[in-house]
């Protein structure tokens, strides 16, 4: 039995998943969200890569702190409208883009999540196969026959994780909250045990906080610090954009900010330091530097330790995939047709689509990955700028929650046939400029800062256009 629709709400804009919810989450739930987002095979490899740029350890720490501090500020700013109205990211987008125009930023974020969902599932399944082959070497022949670019064993691992993630997601947001509440601490426990074992075997004198053979100094080092800072911001830009999907459940902004503090600067710094200790120690212990945590635990001469480590890191990747790449498209695609697509249906659309893009072929082509990330940044950066400028400068932090679900021409967020031409124009112009930066060799240095240029151009362009509209409307109203 479907709950009664609130009076004045349109079925083209409302279902129970998109409407205001009861707020019960506290700061620990937000902290656990960020732990799940950071603690993954991808997060492990990313953190280690920052220490391989040829910088001194203190320079890497500066880049980490500046980058993650910037993300913390942006996360707090983007969390507020969703926490205030208790609605998810695509519904908040109706403020700036219009009740139907909000589908544009929603679909952009949803498609990004589909791509990353597939890649993260593939990474976790690839690492899991290493452990499977250790215990069942007879399955090696399944790794030598391929279909659609992936071995039969690869398909088994990918589909197994695909089903597990879908099962956790299908059980609902309360189950997801309970899952991420324990997943993060479990990964930390395993990582500290692994780091302790590595240090014991290698000796503290053989642990280095620089994973690169080259050493940079002067302006070259400064440039890499700036680059590392930009990489941190870009890495977290996806889950930060739709952070409102989770802050909507929080009882207060004080809880959100406290959770962001522990989950972002404190958690990411601790995770990065433990990661570099483990990666650095693999060289003296195993004779080669291993950047994959599951490949590392697979080398341990203890079957229980291998199983525990593999379970922890696979659990971690399931966590990040659900919070960053499953929940987001679930709301985003449901927003396109609320009366036909539920939150669960939206998530399953994303999960099925992630198989058809064959993420292993995408990931195994570095050039494709590079351009894909830069193109996505060109789209995602302007959305940050437009949403922040609209809520804080244009709307003055005022939200008419009922109007977010009103599709009548007199509705506050109707604009022009449900679309706000000002926001769409600012998005298109900023995105096109970002794509020029990405594909023009002369602008290649700027491509790595696509998020920043996009955010500035999108927000600045929207502010100028909105001010012009407000000035033009003032005499007309008079």
The model's pLDDT over 338-380, given as tens digits with 9 standing for 90+, comes to 989 888 898 899 889 989 888 888 777 766 666 666 677 788 9
- Determine the pLDDT at residue 318: 82
pLDDT-based confidence at residue 7 (cuts at 50, 70, 90): confident
In 87-217, which residue ranges form alpha helices assigned H by DSSP? 89-97, 103-135, 152-170, 173-202
pLDDT at residue 248, rounded to an integer:
97
41-55, 232-246, 250-264, 307-321 — most confident range: 250-264
Interatomic CA distance for residues 300 and 379, integer angstroms: 43
Q: Look at the block and give the residue holding tokens 């800062």.
A: 449
Mean pLDDT in residue range 376-385: 88
Q: Are 152 and 139 in contact (CB under 8 A)?
A: no
Task: Name the one residue in this structure whose structure tokens are 């479990």.
Answer: 186
Q: How confident is the model at residue 478 (pLDDT cuts 50, 70, 90)?
A: very low
In the predicted structure, residue 384 carries a pLDDT above the cut 70: yes
Q: What is the mean pLDDT of residues 307-322?
A: 81
Q: How many residues does the chain have?
A: 478
Determine the Cα–Cα distance for residues 128 and 310; give it in Å rounded to an integer: 7
Beta-carbon-side half-sphere exposure of residue 105 (alpha carbons within 13 Å) = 33
Q: How confident is the model at residue 2 (pLDDT cuts 50, 70, 90)?
A: low
289 pLDDT band (50/70/90 cuts)? confident
Q: Which residues contact 12 (CB under 8 A, 6 or more apart)?
A: 337, 338, 339, 407
Distance CA 187, CA 314 (A): 10
In angstroms, the CA 306 to CA 88 distance is 39
pLDDT of residue 212: 66
What φ, ψ does residue 415 adopt, rounded to 5°? 55, -115
Q: How far apart are CA 202 and CA 204, in angstroms?
A: 7
In the structure, what pLDDT confidence band is assigned to residue 258 with cuts at 50, 70 and 90?
A: very high
Q: Cβ of 44: how many Cβ atoms within 10 Å? A: 28
Higher-scoring residue by pLDDT: 174, 477: 174
DSSP 2: P
| Predicted pLDDT of residue 450 | 82
Using the predicted structure, report yes or no on whether residue 222 has a pLDDT greater than 70. Answer: yes
What average pLDDT score do residues 184-212 get? 85
pTM of the full predicted structure?
0.90
- Give pLDDT, residue 87: 97
| pLDDT, mean over the chain | 87
Three-class SS of residue 278?
helix
Q: How far is CA 203 from CA 255, 273, 364, in A?
A: 41, 17, 35
Q: Is the pLDDT of residue 27 over 90?
A: yes
What tokens does 263 get?
């989950």
Write out pLDDT tens, residues 418-436. Answer: 999 999 999 999 999 988 8
Q: With 0-12 CB in 10 A as exposed, 13-18 as middle and 19+ as buried, what is 20?
A: middle
What pLDDT, on the 0 to 100 scale, is given for residue 74? 97
Phi, psi (rounded to 5 degrees) for 150 = -130, 140
For the cut 70, the answer to whether the pLDDT of residue 1 exceeds it is no
For range 323-341, the mean pLDDT:
90
The per-residue pLDDT for 217 is 67
Q: Do 263 and 33 form a contact (C-beta atoms < 8 A)?
A: yes
Task: For the chain, give the longest Cα–Cα distance.
Answer: 82
Question: Terminus-to-terminus CA distance in the chain, angstroms?
Answer: 50
pLDDT at 89: 97
């Amino acid at each position: 039995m479907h709950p009664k629709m609130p009076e004045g709400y349109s079925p083209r804009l409302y279902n129970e998943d998109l409407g205001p919810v009861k707020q019960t989450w506290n700061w620990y739930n937000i902290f656990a969200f960020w732990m799940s987002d950071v603690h993954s095979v991808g997060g492990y490899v990313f953190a280690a890569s920052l220490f391989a740029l040829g910088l001194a350890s203190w320079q890497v720490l500066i880049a980490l702190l500046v980058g993650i501090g910037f993300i913390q500020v942006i996360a707090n700013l983007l969390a507020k409208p969703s926490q205030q109205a208790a609605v998810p990211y695509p519904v908040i987008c109706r403020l700036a883009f219009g009740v139907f125009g909000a589908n544009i930023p929603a679909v952009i974020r949803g498609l990004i999540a589909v791509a990353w969902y597939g890649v993260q599932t593939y990474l976790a399944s690839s690492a899991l196969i290493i452990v499977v082959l250790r215990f069942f070497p007879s399955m090696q022949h399944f790794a030598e026959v391929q279909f659609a670019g992936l071995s039969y064993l690869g398909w088994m691992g990918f589909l197994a994780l695909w089903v597990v993630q879908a099962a956790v997601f299908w059980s609902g947001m309360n189950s997801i909250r309970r899952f991420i509440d324990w997943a993060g601490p479990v990964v930390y426990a395993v990582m500290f045990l692994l780091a302790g074992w590595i240090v014991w075997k290698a000796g503290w004198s053989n642990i280095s906080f620089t994973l690169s053979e080259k050493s940079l100094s002067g302006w070259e080092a400064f440039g890499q610090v700036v680059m590392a800072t930009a990489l941190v911001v870009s890495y977290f830009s996806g889950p930060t954009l739709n952070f409102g999907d989770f802050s909507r459940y929080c009882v207060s902004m004080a809880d959100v900010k406290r959770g962001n503090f522990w989950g972002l600067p404190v958690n990411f710094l601790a995770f990065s330091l433990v990661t570099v200790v483990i990666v650095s120690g693999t060289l003296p212990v195993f004779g080669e530097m291993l950047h994959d945590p599951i490949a590392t635990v697979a080398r341990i001469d203890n079957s229980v330790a291998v199983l525990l480590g593999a379970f922890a890191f696979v659990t971690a990747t399931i966590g990040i995939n659900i919070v960053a790449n499953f929940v987001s498209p679930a709301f985003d695609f449901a927003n396109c047709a609320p009366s036909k697509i539920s939150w669960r249906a939206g998530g399953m659309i994303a999960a099925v689509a992630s198989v058809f893009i064959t993420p292993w072929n995408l990931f195994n082509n570095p050039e494709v990955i590079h351009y894909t990330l830069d193109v996505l940044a060109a789209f995602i950066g302007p959305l940050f700028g437009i949403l922040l400028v609209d809520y804080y400068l244009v709307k003055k932090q005022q939200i008419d929650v009922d109007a977010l679900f009103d599709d009548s021409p007199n509705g506050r967020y109707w604009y022009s046939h449900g679309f706000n031409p000002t926001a769409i124009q600012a998005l298109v112009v900023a995105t096109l400029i970002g794509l020029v930066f990405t594909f023009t060799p002369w602008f290649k240095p700027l491509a790595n800062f696509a998020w920043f240029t996009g955010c500035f151009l999108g927000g600045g362009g929207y502010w100028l256009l909105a001010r012009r509209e407000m000035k033009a409307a003032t005499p007309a109203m008079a």
